[in-house]
Amino acid sequence: MFATILFFVFAAVLVGAALGVVLARNPVHSALLLVLCFVASAVIWLLLEAEFLGIVLVLVYVGAVMVLFLFVVMMLDINVEQLRKGIAGYWPIAVAVAGFVVFAMLNVLVARRLGGLALKTAPALPAGYSNTRALGEVLFTRYAYPAQVAAVILLVASVAAIVLTLRRRPGLKPQDVAQQVAVRAADRVRLVKMPAERRP
Amino acid sequence: MSAFNPVEFNAGLALAEPEIFLTLAACAILLVDLLLGQASRRVSGLLSVLALLATAALVAAHPVEGRVVALGGLFELDRMAQVLKVATLLIVAASYVYSTDYLARRDILKGEYFVLGLFAALGALVLISAASLITLYLGLELMSLCLYAMVAFDRDSGVAAESAIKYFVLGSMASGTLLYGMSIIYGMSGSLDLATIAAAAQGGLGDNVGMIFGIAFIIVGVGFKLGAVPFHMWVPDVYEGSPTPVTVFIGTASKLGAFALIMRLLPEALGAAQGDWSQMLTVLCVLSLAIGNLVALAQTNLKRMLAYSTISHVGFTLLGILSGTVPGYQAAMFYMVTYTLVASGAFGMILLLARQGFEADRISDFRGLNARSPWFAGLMAGLMFSLAGLPPFVGFWAKLGVIQAVLGVGDTWLAVIAVMFSVVGAFYYLRVVKVMYFEEPVDTAPLGGSMVMRLVLSANALLVLALGIVPGALLAICQRALT
């Protein structure tokens, strides 16, 4: 019972925050609301006993991805008013299309309940069930092939990011650590013998 | 869900030999490229072509009978997969041969271009042999991510950056829609496995409204990836804005991947709901034929014209798929394979005519080509005739096949529309021929292109004629691929 109440509370927070992401005028607010979305869905995962996924969602998405997003959004200094000018003429069409899609989707999802499919509750998990262990077991056995493909996708992402952004500019003076380590005192310090001056 | 068997898994690795080889080769080329100087960049290109040819040989070396599933039920190999894989690999290899000079002139000849292309080809292979929604999606994303980066490869070009952003944003939206559709199908059938979904659809879920809901999202996603109207907005801009070698890639290899995607999702997994998705595809098909052909009439840029022509050819391919019969699927596959062959030749011609600071992507740039090079003007005319669907070129047989397929299921009105719009289409293809033969050249510079490129391009165009005269062999391959 308590879990059901928690579920509805966090589901409501999730839906509200998701609407906020799209509707907020300020992109920084949008990004912060997206963080709230991630946290709320992490809690829903925790309720389903998927602890590992829930924690990874908070650590990776909230901790790393969204912080980066926030930095980018704050640095870009987007002029929202100027962006809005272009869209202004299209909103009646957008509202009409979106309204039709929402109507059609509600018709299938709510009125016809996806063709009368019975809703099932998640089966209770055995005591001592470890989500991390279960994930690890399928990831490295049954799903080893897609895990490898996902690894290739990550490799492609890093290759593409480097090739699109790395520029070699002439005239830069970067540190060369090897050269710094290999330096000897004789190269840098010159001892000059000077006769001491006599006091007049 | 059967228990995992390591022995079986390891035995299945032999079936994925081409994919494993291509992955290792791409990583090796990435490392070798580091050691090469700027002067010997072409070596990476050569190695990549060799890797692609070796992978194609590995695929062709072990023909399979029927459908073999391996790697924990996530990978499948059948004749359709093998034919599409060989076609994709050869087309990518040809596009590398065409693009090396162009990239060198634009000062973007880097090893990473070839490596990204190899990974995109790998993505297409994974997609083509996917037996599960997971591998299907991962393969598609691997291919698309490489293509986004390749479109932006000329990073000093504003137009390329703009089209890369358009392609990325619309492509991500399409992926999201596809994923939503897949999640609904998963929720309804309880499985990610294509065969299990097919069984569930057969067992009464087929015309459930929820299933149709999922199919609608899947068709939107696939429509985006194929570039069918009304999801075609990105096609002309991306074709025009990308560097021409990348246009070849998007116009050919990625279309073969998208064809595999639609074949795996619709006839294979959701065959029981054929009546529903046929209706949706009919709308896409008629709109693609109409808008593709009519808007192409108004284009002065050859790359844009070919983009709209792609849209119309996608319409023709859908004609075969929506018939929902095995001969229809065979005709659609023949159409897609031969279309990519013709398109790679046509884009190759643009690359041949391009020079330093000159793109040769307007139709007027082909003015008087006959006076400059009768051989290549003849080949280009052949390619245009094939796109228009005139005999004795292969495009004629492809169009004949799909039209026969819709006539076979009694959709005479669709066949009439298809023929009508292919007559409209003939006008703009023949305009290119007219410009080449009946107008005076304004530009008398000799044609560029290395000897190898000229040879491969000639072979490509002659193959279009040869397959038009003796289409039997390729038709038989496509018929054996899908039974």
Provide the shortest C-alpha distance from residue A6 to chain B (in Å): 23
Q: Locate the chain B residue with the closest alpha carbon to A157.
A: B145
Has residue B50 been placed in a domain?
yes
Could you give the CA distance from residue A86 to residue A107 in angstroms, rounded to a whole number?
Answer: 33
Q: Which domain holds residue B341?
A: 6-481
According to the model, what pLDDT value does residue A120 have?
67
Give the confidence band of B187 by pLDDT, cuts at 50, 70, 90: confident
Show the 3-state SS of B333-362.
HHHHHHHHHHHHHHHHHHHHHCECCECCCE
Mean pLDDT of chain A: 85
Secondary structure (3-state) at B150: helix
Selection from B288, B303, B455, B463 nearest residue B383 by Cα:
B463
Q: Which of B7-16, B350-359, B468-477 has the lowest mean pLDDT?
A: B350-359
What would the mean pLDDT of B49-70 be, rounded to a whole number? 92
Is B116–A112 a contact, with Cβ atoms under 8 angstroms apart?
no
Q: Single out the residue of B277, B152, B137 nearest to residue B220, CA to CA.
A: B277
The share of chain B scoring above pLDDT 70, in percent, equals: 99
- The predicted pLDDT at position A119 comes to 65
Question: What pLDDT was estimated at residue B440?
Answer: 85
ipTM over 0.95: no
Q: Which of residues 77-106 of A touch B (CB under 8 A)?
A: 105
- Compute the average pLDDT of residues B443-460: 86
How far away is chain B from the Cα of A19, in angstroms, using its nearest Cα? Answer: 17
- With CB atoms and an 8 Å threshold, state whether A156 touches B119: yes
Q: Residue A78 above 90 pLDDT?
A: no
Please compute Rg for chain A using Cα positions: 29
- Residues B176-185 have pLDDT tens digits of 999 999 998 9
Which of B22, B31, B142, B191 would best serve as a mutation to test chain A binding (most A beta carbons within 10 A)?
A: B142
Q: Residues for chain A: how many in total?
A: 200
Compute the nearest-CA separation of A3 from chain B (Å): 23
B458-471 pLDDT, tens digit each:
999 999 999 999 99
Quick check: A81 pLDDT over 70? Answer: no
Contacts of A18 in chain B (CB under 8 A): none
Q: What is the mean pLDDT of residues B103-121?
A: 90
Cα separation values, B405 from B48, B200, B258, B267, B482, Å: 39, 28, 21, 15, 14
* Residue A158 · residue A76 · CB < 8 Å: no
CA–CA separation, A53 and A51 (whole Å): 6
Question: What are residue B193's DSSP bridge partners?
Answer: B132
B1 located within any domain: no
The Cα B35–Cα B37 span in angstroms is 7
Percent pLDDT > 90 in chain B is: 67
pLDDT tier for residue A38 given thresholds of 50, 70 and 90? very high
Contact status of B152 with chain A (Cβ, < 8 Å):
yes
**Quick check: A115 and B30 CB within 8 A?**
no
The DSSP 8-state label assigned to residue A10 in this structure reads: H
Please name the residue of chain A whose CA is at the shortest distance from the CA of residue B13. A145
Whether B137 is covered by a domain: the verdict is yes
What mean pLDDT comes out for the span B105-119?
A: 90
- Residue B287 has a pLDDT of 95
> Is A62 within 8 Å of A39 (Cβ atoms)?
yes
The pLDDT of residue B20 is 95
Q: Which residues from chain A sit within 8 angstroms of residue B135, using beta carbons? A: 145-146, 149
Mean pLDDT for A144-158 is: 94
- By the CB < 8 Å criterion, does B359 face chain A? no
| Interval B407-439: pLDDT, tens | 999 889 999 999 999 999 999 999 999 999 998
Q: Which residues of B74-113 are buried (b: 16+ CB within 10 A; e: fewer)?
A: bbbbbbbbbbbbbbbbbbbbbbbbbbbbbbeebebbbbbb
**Residue B299 belongs to a domain:** yes
pLDDT score, position A118: 63
Q: Which residues of A touch B145 (CB under 8 A)?
A: 153, 156-157, 160
- Confidence (pLDDT) at B114: 94
Digit-coded pLDDT (tens) for B237-274: 999 999 999 999 999 999 999 999 999 999 999 988 88
pLDDT in tens, B61-108: 988 888 888 888 899 999 999 999 999 999 999 999 998 888 888 888
Angle at B170 between CA A80 and CA A53, to 5 degrees: 90
Most B CBs within 10 Å: which of A142, A145, A148, as the mutation test of the B interface?
A145
pLDDT of residue B337: 94
Q: Which residues of chain A are within 8 Å of residue B146 when distances are taken between CB atoms?
A: 156, 160
**Domain count for chain B:** 1
Q: Looking at chain A, which residue has its C-alpha nearest residue B7?
A: A141
Contact B142 A152 (CB under 8 A): yes
Each residue of B366-410: pLDDT tens digit?
A: 888 888 889 999 999 999 999 999 888 999 999 999 999 999 998
Return the bridge partners of B132, or none. Answer: B193
**Residue B479 pLDDT greater than 80, yes or no:** yes
Among all chains, which residue has been given the structure tokens 């228009």?
B388
Closest alpha carbon to A45 in A58, A36, A31, A32: A58
Burial class for A127, CB neighbours closer than 10 Å (0-12, 13-18, 19+):
exposed
CB contact under 8 Å between A117 and B74, yes or no, is: no
Is A192 an interface residue toward B (CB < 8 Å)?
no
Inter-chain contacts counted by CB atoms under 8 A, chains A and B: 89
Tokens of B333: 């596959």
- Cα gap B183→B179, rounded to integer Å: 6
A117 in B contact zone (CB under 8 Å): yes
Q: Model-level pTM?
A: 0.90
Tell me how far apart the alpha carbons of residues A40 and A15 are, in angstroms, rounded to a whole number. Answer: 9
